[in-house]
Amino acid sequence: MKKVDYFKIIHKYIKPDSPVYPLYIIHAILVTTKAVKIGKKLGLSEEQISFIEEASMLHDIGIIHTKDEEIHCTGNRPYILHTLEGQKILETEGLSEYARVARNHIGVGITKEEIINKGLPFPPEDIMADRIEDRIISYADLFYSKTPSLLWQELSFKEVEKNIGKFGKDKLKIFHSWHKEFS
């Protein structure tokens, strides 16, 4: 498997002198560090670990097309769509497996029924991290924010549990299963 130069891709879309860049890079590195540590602990192959590293660094690339003043994103799409925007960017770069991570890393997932019933701006289909690499990255991402005041803090299990619990018991059940799998 050929190594992906994720810094080259990041720099193509998020300029290093932009105010969003440090928030993006710090968040991506923290998520990557946690995800790689989990992958190694689970005894995943070197190829899987390499993929986790590269995909973790790129998982939020779509924020550049969204609007969120707090993290200096000046795009025109709602922030929740950073997943689909990241998918588009990474597909354009010829990285379909990485695009899948960007698309599917939304919390612990969203079902087709939730999208329809809540009128969410996603295609009416399940958006779930189903491969182990995708689940590890999604899980690690839950512990870190890009919000400047929280940027360097790893959320505790209880804090993440509280955040996930706002979306229902079914989401909490998924989080608990991931925690059991990865802890």
- Residues 120-172: pLDDT tens digits? 999 999 999 999 999 999 999 999 999 898 889 999 999 999 999 999 999 99
Number of structural domains found in the chain: 1
What CATH code is carried by the domain that includes residue 62? 1.10.3210
- Note whether residue 80 is domain-resident: yes
What is the pTM for the complete model shown? 0.95
Residue 151: the pLDDT is 85
Count other Cβ atoms within 10 Å, centred on residue 131. 15
Instruction: Give 80-125 pLDDT, tens digit per residue.
Output: 999 999 999 999 999 999 999 999 999 999 999 999 999 999 999 9
Question: CA 79, 80, 86, 91 torsion: positive or negative?
Answer: negative
Assess if residue 116 is contained within a domain.
yes
Q: Is residue 72 part of a domain?
A: yes
Q: Is residue 1 part of a domain?
A: no
Dist. CA 110–CA 66, nearest whole Å: 20
